[in-house]
Structure formats: C-alpha cells, structure tokens
Structure 1
C-alpha cells in the first residue's frame, strides 16, 4: 500500500508520516530527496540559469532561493518544473526498489502524479503553521505566510477521491495510532 501525506508548510506532515511509519511503513520524504536533487550538477545548472540571483560565488544559497520563490508564483512554478520531474523519478525508483507499505511525505504530492492508494491531507491553521515553522526553521513569519498561501491555493484545486483529512493544530490532542489506523484502513 502506498499512502501519500501532503499539506501546507508546517501542517505536521512529517509527524503524521512518522506515526504511519510505526504501522510498518517505509517513509519517503520528498524534502530530503529535493535537497539531494538540488545538489546534482545538472539541476544546479538549470537553477543557476533560471535564478542567477540565488547564487553567491557559484554556490546555491537556498535561503535566497526560498525568498525568491516565496515572493513570486511564476518563480515557484519555474523551480518546480526544474526539480519536480527529478524528485518524481527518485521517488518512483525508491518505490520500485522497496516493496511493501510506503508513505510518501510531500507538500504538493498530488502534483507529482504518482500512483497512490490513499492520500492523507494534513491541515493546520495559520497560527500553528507560523509557530511551528518559526521554531523549526527560524524562518520569518512573512516568508512562511507566503509559502503557506501559495501551497494552500494549489491544494484547493486538488480533487481527490481517495483522501482523508487530519487536523493537526496545536490545540488538537495527539492523534493516536488507533485513530490513524482507522483513518488509513477504513
């Protein structure tokens, strides 16, 4: 079984994915894969051609790149067109070489067009998101809000039949394994 966990920045996707992992699933984290993809020479060259201002002395400055894409939807789309095909290839390869139950953790997972048995959308309110990301990444609220807003607009367009929603706010009690198992296998 392949489960896709998606949602906006700071929603708690990784927390939910790690809980699913304890139900004997292997976790594929798209953020980790994207970091490796960004380090590949071919992808880095394409990014440098598209976003020369994101480089300092020929080195990609990820903070600058994040700022650029958080401020401009067209820049985000351009970056996604460069990195997402390779991320999809890497995830597909991991699925093929790791038989069994898998959970894929990716903010905008449905856009990859992978075969997924069930989607879990993790939602959190804006305040929760801002606080989590500030604590985790030390990002300014404005940058986080911009990413959150872009992702939320894209997610609204998804029309998925095989989806369950988990609310994961700071006010929500911890989701138990029994609740999670019931949501996944209902």
Structure 2
C-alpha cells in the first residue's frame, strides 16, 4: 500500500481531472471519488438494490442501471431523501476508496475528491492539493464543457466550500490559469516533493 496519500480537490471546472491525469502519466495511482461513487451503484451492487427498494423501480433505466437524472430530481427537492442517500452511499464510497488505496503500488497515491473538505475526507490523506482558478474562469469552463447555464454553475459553486476556505486548508495549490505545459512543470515539481515525503513515511 502507498502509505502516503495526497488529497486532490478543486471546484467544478478547475481542472482537477487534467491535473490528476498528469500525475497518472508519472505512474501514480489515482483513486477517484466520482468513479467510485458510480461503482458502488453499478447493477448487481447492494447500493443499487437498496436505492431501488427505497425509491422504487422507476429510478432505474430499462437496462437495470441507475437513472441518475431521475434520482437527482427526487433528492434535489427533498432534503430528507438526499440525507438518506448520503447516509447509504458515503460509508460505501469511503470503504471502497480505502480498499483501492490499499491496493495502490505507486510510491504515493492520489485521492481525487471534489468535496474533500466538505465531506471531511481530508482526514484520510497526508496532505491536500487544491487546483485553483478564478470563479469567472470556473464558470466559463464549466458552461463550455457541460453545456449548462451560468446560473446552474453558480448553484454548484455555491454548494461547494468557498475558494478562500479551500485555499486556507490546502497544503499545496496549483494555479490553473495558464497552459497545460505550465501545469506539467508544476505537477513535476510536486511529484518530486511527494516522492521525498513518501520516502519519510
């Protein structure tokens, strides 16, 4: 197991995935909360079975997969339902992430979590890395990428920890206002730093 774990986070549209993939290119194992959260509700899992029992079969697509849009709609307008879902899935996601981190063979591992601080998952890592961009650029990139309105992006940004809060809690920050090549050199520097830190754990 990689004993040294870096928690990677950043607001929507900040470029977390790009940064994570640059670390992966250097041979570092990634454990991505978004991917894990899909795995725990895949067909045949206890997570999906419990969701279908609770919300009914209308929450599933015809092929038996979870209809995320239908589920989002159900929980968005009903906080108690959202809480029920979080109470079911968060422990499962956490357990699966820890299991995947245990299997990591690289000198250190990266845990990619959009809501690292909000969900208290920074307790699982040795240090935190925030990918930072301005709210204006965040809005612009997310609108282009997801074809959503500025208002929708603002709502998502509003539900995440503020930029100032993330930056105050971060051990390291990558400023992602520049080019991908600038990003690569920043990642290379941090990679060397984390290798040294991992050596001492």
TM-score (norm. length: structure 1): 0.75
Alignment coverage as a number of residue pairs = 183
Q: 1:168 to 1:176 in 2, by over 3 A?
A: closer
Q: 1:180 to 1:152 in 2, by over 3 A?
A: same
| Shift of residue 150, structure 1, vs aligned partner | 0.6
Q: 1:66 to 1:4 in 2, by over 3 A?
A: same
| Shift of residue 141, structure 1, vs aligned partner | 3.6
Distance in 1 (alpha carbons) for counterparts of 2:122 and 2:76:
23
User: In the alignment, what sits opposite 2:102?
Assistant: 96
CA contact under 8 A between 1:123 and 1:168: conserved in structure 2?
A: yes
Residues 28-77 of structure 1 show CA distances to partners (whole Å, capped at 9, x for unaligned) of 12111111112254323444566569826786321233455566776655
Q: 1:102 to 1:56 in 2, by over 3 A?
A: closer
Equivalent position to 1:130, from 115, 139, 142: 139
Are positions 1:121 and 2:136 aligned together?
no
More displaced stretch, 63-72 vs 132-141: 63-72
Are positions 1:105 and 2:112 aligned together?
yes
Distance in 1 (alpha carbons) for counterparts of 2:154 and 2:77:
10
| Shift of residue 107, structure 1, vs aligned partner | 0.4
User: In the alignment, what sits opposite 1:7?
Assistant: 10
**Higher Cα Rg, which structure:** 2
CA contact under 8 A between 2:176 and 2:183: conserved in structure 1?
A: no
Q: 1:164 to 1:76 in 2, by over 3 A?
A: farther
TM-score (norm. length: structure 2): 0.71
| Shift of residue 16, structure 1, vs aligned partner | 0.7
CA contact under 8 A between 1:54 and 1:62: conserved in structure 2?
A: no
Q: Which runs of 5+ in 2 are unaligned?
A: 195-201
Q: Which runs of 5+ in 1 are unaligned?
A: none
What's the C-alpha RMSD, in Å, of the aligned pairs?
Answer: 3.4
